[in-house]
Amino acid sequence: MQEKINKQKKEGIHFTPTKLANFVAYKMISLHPISIDCKKIRILDPAIGDGELIIAILSQIYNNHNIEITVVGFDINSDSLILAEKRILSLFPNINLFLYNKDYLDEITDNNDLFSHVKKDTSFDYIIANPPYVRTQVLGADKSQKLAKKWGLKGRLDLYQAFMLAIENNMNENSIAGFITSNRFLSIEGCKDFRKRLNSSFSFFDLWDFGDTSLFKASVLPLVSIFSKKKKRQLTNFSSIYKIYNTSSFNNDIIHVTDPIDGIEKEGILQDSSGTYYLSSRGFLNFSTSSSPWTMQNTETQNWLNLVKNNTYYCFKDVGKVRVGVKTTADNVFIHDNWMQETGCEPELLLPLINHNVAEQYRRTTDITTKILYPHYYINGERGVYNIDNFPISRKYLSFHREQLEKRKYLKDAGRKWYEIWVPQKAELWSQEKIVFRDISEHPTFWLEQGTSVINGDCYWMILDSIYFPKDIIWLILAIANSSFIEKYYDCCFNNKLYSNKRRFISQYVENFPIPQYNTEISNKIIYESQDIFKNGITLEKKNRIDYHVNQAFGINL
């Protein structure tokens, strides 16, 4: 059983729930109805799995039309193909079914004879798929590079991206495709080139982001997209549904639904049959640029963002560079809360380490007990690594873990020493006053650090490194970053959410957070209130007052 689970994980197998399959098939047929005089229909599933999606779309058309139906399916898992064939033919015995135990991505450009049954035209009327979700690190470097070169992909490659691009070869001007994929490509920086390719190749009719609704057993945040080959730009409908974890402020205006699939096209606060609450939103897809995050907008959010834009004078990146913390790639060796208890010694090269759980908004709340063995120095703009022969305790400790550390082959390939930290960052900057913030958090958690400490890789940080701004602008930045305003701004512009409504606060987003005009009456109030919270702590009254003033600074009247 465990071997089967491991194989499914490696191959990215997540069988499609029946109700979700029916949803995709119904939407595809609604967009591309079958004409009365249609004689033949061709359907392709390039990763057919157990056949659920094919069964769903055949159920929409099989008994209603006297049409010759041809279905073509690919899958690298032979057991899945046997199951798919048995299921499909038991329900639809009169179709032409062609199943191939092959990798569609390998065959699509190399062997057009596979499509000889559709004669010279290798296009299909309907292409429906839930392709495997396999990240670069699981695919392996060789296959990743091959796919990237073949399909012109860059950045963080996932196997489903290649499938989405490859099916263009099997589409004509009337074809409709329905895909179930991860929603990651909508927002992350590593997928910007993929978004460009999608934008240049296809026209999207509808997107449905099912977020953290747990439709799959695996931790996949699924997105359903319906698209055709590139046509004149049309408005793309965008719907999303995410769980709500704080229900304390609800009123009686709750829409009751069976499950998230029933609720995805409603709008407002929903409760399903299990008692789980959701927020369902509807709007249209925002293409501000072809490579920027794809986010939902409606007239209200568009007007709100225009107002913010008109009152934005700078961005965070104008004040200081946003940096990620250190990444050791061997935390169990380099990082401990109690070195004497864990290892029986305290190496000479220890430094205090700040991680995500030591602070709340505005200020740190606990003492730093975690320390990192930090074998790097950074002096006068030059970064180096210490000779551990000069530090006998550190040398003895690191030598004990040498076998593990030397397995980090990428260090050796980069010409670096076996005991280095993979991403050490600039040590000479640790002593400067800095804003630190959590990478993953439901609400923004930014705080000010005034001591000398290393920042761990679960946090990001920035210092004031522009000579054009006075030092107290750091308090204005701190207030904006922790405000309810920035939560709304984030969701409108980036909306990269994980499970449990957690947001990703990473460089590409935070560096573009807006700053209003400096040295105004409102900005001075915000700076004073931010300093007060840092010194004396936060209360709900203080939080509400500073939120009100931040909104005021951007021209927003609540």
125 neighbors 42 (Cβ within 8 angstroms): yes
With bands split at pLDDT 50, 70 and 90, how would you rate the model's confidence at 4?
very low
Query: How do residues 477-503 score in pLDDT, each as one tens digit?
Result: 999 999 999 999 999 998 888 877 789
pLDDT of residue 12: 43
Q: Classify burial at 512, counting beta carbons within 10 Å of its beta carbon; exposed 0-12, middle 13-18, buried 19 or more.
A: middle
Query: How do residues 225-283 score in pLDDT, each as one tens digit?
Result: 999 998 876 789 999 999 988 766 666 689 999 999 999 999 999 999 999 999 999 99
pLDDT of residue 15: 76
DSSP string across 262-325? HHTTS-EEEE-TTS-EEEEEEEEEE-SSSSS--EEE-HHHHHHHHHHHHT--EEHHHH--EEE-
Q: What is the DSSP letter of 96?
A: E
pLDDT of residue 58: 96
Which one has a higher pLDDT value, 350 or 15?
A: 350
Query: How do residues 104-163 score in pLDDT, each as one tens digit?
Result: 988 875 555 556 555 566 899 999 999 987 765 566 667 777 777 887 777 667 889 999
Query: How do residues 178-215 score in pLDDT, each as one tens digit?
Result: 999 999 899 888 888 899 889 989 999 999 999 999 88
pLDDT of residue 344: 84
133 neighbors 12 (Cβ within 8 angstroms): yes
pLDDT of residue 10: 44
13 neighbors 130 (Cβ within 8 angstroms): no
pTM attached to this predicted model: 0.82
Beta strands in 299-422 (DSSP E): 314-315, 322-324, 335-336, 350-354, 371-373, 376-379, 382-385
Query: How do residues 339-381 score in pLDDT, each as one tens digit?
Result: 998 788 899 999 999 999 999 999 999 999 999 999 998 877 7
Q: Are strands 459-463 and 322-324 parallel, antiparallel or unpaired?
A: antiparallel
Does the pLDDT of residue 6 top 50, yes or no?
A: no
Q: How far apart are CA 304 and CA 322, in angstroms?
A: 26
Residue ranges per domain, the chain? 2-239, 307-319+469-558, 321-463
Does the pLDDT of residue 53 top 70, yes or no?
A: yes
pLDDT of residue 9: 43
The dotted CATH code for 2-239 is: 3.40.50.150
Does the pLDDT of residue 450 top 60, yes or no?
A: yes
Q: What angle do CA 381, 383, 386 make, to 5 degrees?
A: 140
Query: How do residues 371-402 score in pLDDT, each as one tens digit?
Result: 999 999 887 778 889 999 999 999 999 999 99
The rounded mean pLDDT for the chain is 88
Average the pLDDT over 410-422 and give the result.
92
With bands split at pLDDT 50, 70 and 90, how would you rate the model's confidence at 2?
very low
Q: Residue 448: CB partners within 8 Å, gap ≥ 6?
A: 362, 363, 433, 434, 435, 436, 474, 478, 534
Which one has a higher pLDDT value, 111 or 422?
A: 422
Query: How do residues 509-527 score in pLDDT, each as one tens digit?
Result: 999 999 999 989 999 999 9
Per-residue tokens: 54? 């094919």
Per-residue tokens: 371? 């320390």
Q: How far apart are CA 431 and CA 101, in angstroms?
A: 59
Per-residue tokens: 195? 């978004």
Q: How far apart are CA 173 and CA 165, in angstroms?
A: 16
Of 385, 309, 359, 335, nearest to 478 by C-alpha is: 359
Average the pLDDT over 441-469 and give the result.
93
Could you tell me if residue 130 is left (phi over 0), alpha (psi between -120 and 50 degrees) or otherwise beta? beta
- Which of 6-10, 91-95, 119-123 is the most confident on average? 91-95
Query: How do residues 29-40 score in pLDDT, each as one tens digit?
Result: 998 888 888 889
Q: Are strands 254-256 and 126-129 parallel, antiparallel or unpaired?
A: unpaired
Q: How far apart are CA 259 and CA 264, in angstroms?
A: 9
124 neighbors 42 (Cβ within 8 angstroms): yes
Does the pLDDT of residue 427 top 90, yes or no?
A: no
Length of the chain: 558
Instruction: List residues bridging with 177 in a β-sheet.
Output: 127, 227
